[in-house]
Structure 1
Amino acid sequence: MTSGVTVSDDSTKERAPSIRDVARLAGVSHQTVSRVLNNHASIRDSTKARVLAVIEELQYRPNRAARALSRGRSRTIGVLSASSAEYGPASSIAAIQDAARDAGYFVNTANLNRGEPGSIAAAVDHLMSQSVEGIVVIAPQVQVFNALKLLSIDVPFVTLQSSGNVDANALTVDQIAGARLATRHLIDLGHRDIYHLAGPQDWIEAEARMHGFLEEMGAREVPTTAPILGDWTAQFGYHAGRELLHVRDFTAIFSSNDQMALGLMHAIREAGLEVPRDVSIVGFDDIPEAAHFWPPLTTVRQDFAELGRRCVALLLANIAGTTAENQGAIMPELIVRGSTARPAF
């Protein structure tokens, strides 16, 4: 009991209290409660105190989304993601959520399990039905971008891409540069027999990392073999490692992600060999567990927090009708740990 107000009403015990419950028990209109919540100057101190006392007794929490909608603003942005299971897209979504929350926005995410145009259109329709003010597209697959070109999206949107021709509303982490860093590291250590375990076809990141590997090998005039197309999983890395070890015509492998690198390390150790004494391994992404592999994994780190900050800043500028500076590609960083060393000639 506060300020002489006692609340006793069984009708609010089985559900969350509403603004009308507050109004009824405080003996005022719901418009008055709304004015109290918005610190309106026309409300008398005694009325404000009575309403606030009921709010405290009921533990009423205003529905911010409903309040925003009543003002014609949802303060919600949508995220269209073609995959939230992989570390990269999942980390991008988390970073965007953090940046949006700091800016006072909600995030509604629509995940695509398939890349068919119909499912993409349905996901966009879902986001639009939530009155989103703008959309972030995290689509690591080429077919998703192709499908989006055919859709009419009538709110501002920005895209996350990995390479290629991007416009002012596209943000990118330079995957090609990251792959070149990884490959250059192995070459600088003295490796010349280097394999690349690539990601799946149609994934933009996988294609960009493969191009980076090939570009660096070519620039350094190191002979290359055809990259091996994987599926991002540690299980594939393990089976690929077992097959490659039948010939063992390499001293190093650049894996397109850390999970496949983990599988490779398993296969190498199971064969009685050691990383990096017999084979050096470099991954990509720097997942939280990478520092705890044995040996700890040399990998390429992406700054997802900065990506989320830039993404939300660019989208909110578009929503406001202002111009935000696109600061260019985010450069990844090579993290050198214990899985790489000079080849044992």
Structure 2
Amino acid sequence: MAVESEPPRALNIRDVAREAGVSYQTVSRVLNGSDRIREKTREHVQSVIDRLGYRPNPVARALSTNRSRTIGVLTAHSALYGPATAITAIEFAARDAGYRLSIANLRSGEPESVRASIDDLLSHAVEAIIVIAPQQEVLSEVGGMSVDVPIVALGPSGERHSMAMDQIAGARAAVAHLADLGHEFIVHLAGPQNWTEAEARMVGYLRELDARDLRVRAPLLGDWTAQFGYEAGMSLLRMPDFTAVFAGNDSMALGFLHACRELGVRVPEDVSVVGFDDIPEAAHFFPPLTTVRQDFVELGRRTIRMLLAQLAGEDLAQDPLVPQLIVRASTAAPRSN
């Protein structure tokens, strides 16, 4: 009867030390980036680590150093372009700084769900937490919790320990572009109003109209989806009393473009359309979409920079990032001009 062989034992730090001919403490110093070691020794030990393919056990390292090098991320709706892109950018920035992410997705915005997700992250010994859940009720619940690690929220600008895109400025740039082209009747397809980003973009829309003394009309409250944009377009375009649309995101703009095409409304000849986010597909809509681009890579860098400052006992203030208007073929002067 054949006897099953035992699986090979995983390498540990003492195996690396034995192969390199040094103490395991020296290997540990190399792994932790200590400056208390000669460069020649560091290079030798690192070459052995690379040759053996050794990877430190994160749990063992956390126990030995009392540091997990892990940042928790609390997120909701992470499948949407904005949150998903922000998480990716933050992960790359964290990795560059020697950290890894532990992600908890909210089941809902209810207080019990928020507290359970935070407790789950803390159980993984995270050193800090980033909140990418732009619903106001989530931010309020997190803000009221007593947590012993630093927290940075991607939320409204002006809040302490928050990193933000200036959504109001981005929305104003979109509306200003349409107004500069000569549009006086501009409709806004807004996102869900429990989202701080949707609220800020709506505020920007209203402020720019007011600053230019243009007619203000109530925004249509949507849900970020192309389906809502399509349904809104099918309704609005039956009796159009506007010449331009500012959609709260590119997906709703896409749905509106679909309605235009189905009803024979030409873009931009009959109506101009502006989105928000500049998703990768926006340049390939028909016509290519004028939109507002958010620099998520820089957002990730600044978020990690702010967290590292807090971990070092510093309070680093960061100005909001200002989104960039990207002009493409979906906007033009209204026909009357």
Band the TM-score falls in, shorter-chain normalisation: 0.7 to 0.9
Q: State whether residues 258 and 283 of structure 1, in contact with CA within 8 Å, keep that contact through their aligned partners in structure 2.
A: yes
Which whole-Å CA distance do the structure 2 matches of 1:54 and 1:321 have between them?
A: 33
C-alpha change, 1:54 and 1:74, in structure 2 (3 Å) is: closer
Name the structure 2 match of 1:143.
137
**What code does the residue aligned with 1:97 have?**
E
CA offsets per residue over residues 182-235 of structure 1, 9 Å max, x none? 001001101111100000121100010001001100110111211000100001
SS in 2 for 1:62: coil
- TM-superposed deviation, 1:77: 0.8
Which whole-Å CA distance do the structure 2 matches of 1:330 and 1:53 have between them?
A: 43
- TM-superposed deviation, 1:56: 4.9
SS in 1 for 2:246: strand
Which whole-Å CA distance do the structure 2 matches of 1:107 and 1:221 have between them?
A: 47
How many matched pairs?
323
SS in 1 for 2:131: strand
Name the structure 2 match of 1:307.
299
Which whole-Å CA distance do the structure 1 matches of 2:69 and 2:307 have between them?
A: 12
Q: State whether residues 82 and 112 of structure 1, in contact with CA within 8 Å, keep that contact through their aligned partners in structure 2.
A: yes
Name the structure 2 match of 1:333.
324
Instruction: Give the share of equivalent positions with the same residue, in percent.
Output: 54
Unaligned residue ranges in structure 2 (runs of 5+): 31-35
SS in 2 for 1:97: helix
- TM-superposed deviation, 1:313: 0.6
Within 5 Å, give how 1:137-176 maps onto structure 2. 137-163=131-157, 165-167=158-160, 169-176=161-168
Name the structure 1 match of 2:82.
88
TM-score, scaled to structure 2 = 0.88
CA offsets per residue over residues 261-296 of structure 1, 9 Å max, x none? 000001001111211111100000111111111111
C-alpha change, 1:34 and 1:61, in structure 2 (3 Å) is: farther
Q: Given the alignment of the two structures, is residue 69 of structure 1 paired with residue 52 of structure 2, yes or no?
A: no
Name the structure 2 match of 1:4.
none
SS in 2 for 1:296: coil
Q: State whether residues 276 and 340 of structure 1, in contact with CA within 8 Å, keep that contact through their aligned partners in structure 2.
A: yes
Q: State whether residues 19 and 48 of structure 2, in contact with CA within 8 Å, keep that contact through their aligned partners in structure 1.
A: no
C-alpha change, 1:10 and 1:225, in structure 2 (3 Å) is: same
Tell me the C-alpha RMSD between the 2 structures: 2.8
Q: Given the alignment of the two structures, is residue 17 of structure 1 paired with residue 10 of structure 2, yes or no?
A: yes
Name the structure 2 match of 1:5.
none
Q: State whether residues 83 and 113 of structure 1, in contact with CA within 8 Å, keep that contact through their aligned partners in structure 2.
A: no
Q: Given the alignment of the two structures, is residue 286 of structure 1 paired with residue 281 of structure 2, yes or no?
A: no
Q: State whether residues 268 and 275 of structure 1, in contact with CA within 8 Å, keep that contact through their aligned partners in structure 2.
A: yes
Name the structure 1 match of 2:33.
none
- TM-superposed deviation, 1:68: 3.9
Q: In terms of mean alpha carbon deviation, does 175-184 or 130-139 score higher?
A: 130-139
Which of 210, 225, 238 aligns to 1:218? It is 210
CA offsets per residue over residues 133-160 of structure 1, 9 Å max, x none? 1111122111012211331111111111
Please tell me whether Structure 1 or Structure 2 has the larger radius of gyration of its CA atoms: 1
